[in-house]
Amino acid sequence: MNVMYCNCVIINCLIKIKKKQMKYLFKKLAWRLPLAVVVLSFVLMTCQDDKKRTGEHDPNLPVLAYSFQPDSGRIRDQFLINGKNFGNDKSIVKVFFNEIDEALVIGCSDEQMLVLVPRTTEGRVEVSVQVGNQPKQILPIQFKYKSSRQVSTVTGSGENINDFDHGLLDRGKLNPVYIGIDQNENIFVTVGEAPGPDGSTIYDRLVLINEEENSIRTLLTRDQGFTHRCPPNVHPVSNWVMLGHESVRDRFLLLDPKSNWAPTLCFIKNWNVSGNPDNPDAVGQWDGMGRMTEPGTPPQSKFSEPISTDCQHYSLLYCEYDGYYYTRYGRANNNGQIVRIDPNTWNAEVIGMTPPGATYGMAFNTWRDPSDPDDLDKSRTWEMWMAYAGDDGASALVMNSLCTLDIRDRKTWQEANGDVSNPLGGQGDVYYGIMSSFKRVTSDQGRGHRDGLIAQAQFAGPRQISFDNSGICYVGDSYNHCIRKIDTRTGIVSNYVGIPGVNTPFSDGNEKDATFREVHGIVSIVTATDYLIYASDWGNRRIRKIAEE
């Protein structure tokens, strides 16, 4: 064996790994002997005599994948697959767990490849290999995926006090409501009214938390037009923090990190209400709420602009599918307009209606087809999710539920189906004007806690929702005192952390021991080495961090 050649192979494998991933790899090897053996086996394999190694993949021969080791593990563990005709070009090799979760291929030769276990469904999962345009090969045995979650406190003492102007996390006290995070792991928290350290009232604030710097500071106050019920969503491209408003109809707040998050007030300039631009030849007239009226009535636009007396628009979302901003107006009466905003002109139009009620949680699905992630039509980035909290003007037909709609949809229920029963089973014609793609995806059995198939799942006061980078949705299930997980790819709901329905004294720890109380805010982030969830544990007056291992 050529020692110099072996060293070159090792270096060649490692320099292609990102710095944080390399650090993580060495950390694992330091205390997991079986995995060190796996890596050593891979290195020995690559160091065989050149005459015994074919090098390139032969597309005229089948790919064989017949075994792997170890037989179980956790996220980012090293994993060795044995077979034939893999080739040594890892760029054409793909490994999937559970068909949809792609593993990172570190290196490969003709007969073995080394990968990192991806985050996937807990339990036994299929492993498959695809090389080039060859058919996918499913290994004859299943891998047992293990996961655990550790909960810790970032800041907060449990006291109903706002005391954070000293700037230190370990001394912080706050009344947290909703939460967001940017690509640099800066955490943004909306803070509700509470007494200050001197007894005087500190009103709504938006604060910035940085764990690495052990710092917390105020970015916005109520005097600058900020209200704590508006979740701080972060633009996935520009990193801007985006906020809606609770009382001024056309007003939004954007914070630019390049300007140290100085706030910019933005206003809708024009509303498109000129008839029915998406279907100008439709028969019949409109009542301004997407419903057809009898011929002969005064003509109106299909959708009127939101009325000024019911103009709450808590969230501002960026849609990766079409590059527009989206918001939703109203929480009571007959409002519930979905509004599309051109980010260049700030012209807006109502594209459809939804049932009334407060939706503090709104987000776009992030799932993309792993075989073609750049084709947005194969993705679900056009799918908007919303959580009806159930205690703020929500219709009984959607209360305590999660619902979805397709922002590409321009037809109302009445246009698509005629004067027939509406999609939610309610009485009267008020629901005829809602978008034909709108649907309640969780159970219609009311408030409760049930896991399993999403159509049977129950929630109690769902608040903020957040998607990770693979189509997993996390829900702050406030009155169940826990965080729920929805795998939108499989339609399965599970309890992620917290003890459902149990309002016990505060505790950190693993997923079985940690307790929460009325979780309001939730946000997820995937870093080079970690899968993290941050939560505004409103009832416990703390910001919590959940690390998946």
Q: Which CATH number do you get for residue 507? A: 2.120.10.30
> 492: which residues sit within 8 A by CB, 6+ positions away?
451, 452, 453, 454, 486
**pLDDT single digits (tens) 415-440:** 887 765 566 655 455 567 889 899 99
Q: Which helix (H) or strand (E) holds 10?
A: helix 3-15
For 472-489, what is the mean pLDDT? Answer: 95
Q: To the nearest 10°, the Cα dihedral for 125, 129, 134, 137?
A: -50
For 400-412, what is the mean pLDDT? Answer: 92
Report the distance separating Cα 240 and Cα 303, nearest Å.
30
Q: What is the DSSP letter of 216?
A: E
DSSP string covering 438-449, please?
Answer: -EE-S-SS-S--
Is residue 29 domain-shared with residue 57, that is, in the same domain? yes
Q: Dihedrals φ, ψ of 423, to 5°?
A: -70, -15
CB 379 within 8 A of CB 453: no
**Which letter, b or e, does each residue of 311-348 get, where b requires 16 or more Cβ atoms within 10 Å of its Cβ?**
bbbbbbbbbbbeebbbbbbbbbeebbbbbbbbeeeeeb
CB 63 within 8 A of CB 129: yes
| 145, 168, 192 - which closes a domain | 145
CB 240 within 8 A of CB 321: no
For 332-358, what is the mean pLDDT? Answer: 87
Judged against a pLDDT cut of 90, whether residue 64 lies above it is answered with yes
pLDDT value at position 308? 67
CB 498 within 8 A of CB 485: no
Is residue 40 domain-shared with residue 123, that is, in the same domain? yes
Pick the residue with more confidence: 137 or 429?
137
pLDDT value at position 37? 47
pLDDT value at position 286? 72
| 85, 118, 145 - which closes a domain | 145
Is residue 356 domain-shared with residue 479, that is, in the same domain? yes
Report the distance separating Cα 137 and Cα 158, nearest Å.
53
Is residue 116 domain-shared with residue 229, that is, in the same domain? no
Is residue 300 domain-shared with residue 401, that is, in the same domain? yes
- 206 burial (CB, 10 Å; 0-12 / 13-18 / 19+) is buried
Is residue 189 domain-shared with residue 132, that is, in the same domain? no
pLDDT value at position 269? 95
Question: Cα 501–506–507 angle (5° rounding)?
Answer: 105
Q: Dihedrals φ, ψ of 243, to 5°?
A: -135, 140
CATH number at residue 63: 2.60.40.10
For 208-212, what is the mean pLDDT? Answer: 96
Q: Which helix (H) or strand (E) holds 8?
A: helix 3-15
Q: Which of 79, 80, 106, 99 is nearest to 18 (CA)?
A: 106
pLDDT value at position 9? 42
Report the distance separating Cα 27 and Cα 22, nearest Å.
9
Do strands 439-440 and 187-191 pair parallel, antiparallel, or not at all (unpaired)? unpaired
pLDDT value at position 5? 40
Confidence of residue 375 (pLDDT cuts 50, 70, 90): confident
pLDDT value at position 334? 55
Is residue 91 domain-shared with residue 198, that is, in the same domain? no
Indicate the average pLDDT of the chain.
Answer: 84
Is residue 136 domain-shared with residue 53, that is, in the same domain? yes
Full domain range(s) for residue 60: 3-145
Q: Which of 70, 65, 61 is nearest to 38 (CA)?
A: 70
pLDDT value at position 410? 85
pLDDT value at position 22? 46
Alpha-carbon dihedral sign for residues 366, 474, 221, 184: negative
Using alpha carbons, list the distances in angstroms from residue 329 to 103, 244, 303, 519. 41, 10, 13, 24
pLDDT value at position 475? 98
Judged against a pLDDT cut of 70, whether residue 34 lies above it is answered with no
**pLDDT single digits (tens) 231-246:** 999 999 999 999 999 8
Report the distance separating Cα 402 and Cα 397, nearest Å.
11
Q: Which of 289, 389, 287 is nearest to 331 (CA)?
A: 389
**pLDDT single digits (tens) 289-343:** 777 776 666 666 788 888 766 688 999 999 999 999 999 997 665 578 999 999 9
Domain tally, the chain: 2
Percentage of the residues of the chain whose pLDDT score is greater than 90: 60
Judged against a pLDDT cut of 70, whether residue 40 lies above it is answered with no
Is residue 392 domain-shared with residue 437, that is, in the same domain? yes
Total Cβ atoms within 10 A of residue 416: 13
Is residue 290 domain-shared with residue 423, that is, in the same domain? yes
Report the distance separating Cα 136 and Cα 147, nearest Å.
26
List strand residue ranges (DSSP E) for 304-438, in order: 317-318, 325-328, 337-341, 347-353, 361-364, 383-388, 401-406
Using alpha carbons, list the distances in angstroms from residue 319 to 242, 402, 436. 13, 19, 20
Is residue 157 domain-shared with residue 81, that is, in the same domain? no
Report the distance separating Cα 26 and Cα 155, nearest Å.
30
Is residue 134 domain-shared with residue 164, that is, in the same domain? no
Judged against a pLDDT cut of 60, whether residue 101 lies above it is answered with yes
C-alpha R_g of the chain: 26
Q: What is Dmax (Cα atoms) for the chain?
A: 91
Pick the residue with more confidence: 130 or 280?
130
CB 244 within 8 A of CB 271: no
Report the distance separating Cα 415 and Cα 299, nearest Å.
17
| 145, 161, 194 - which closes a domain | 145
pLDDT value at position 304? 80
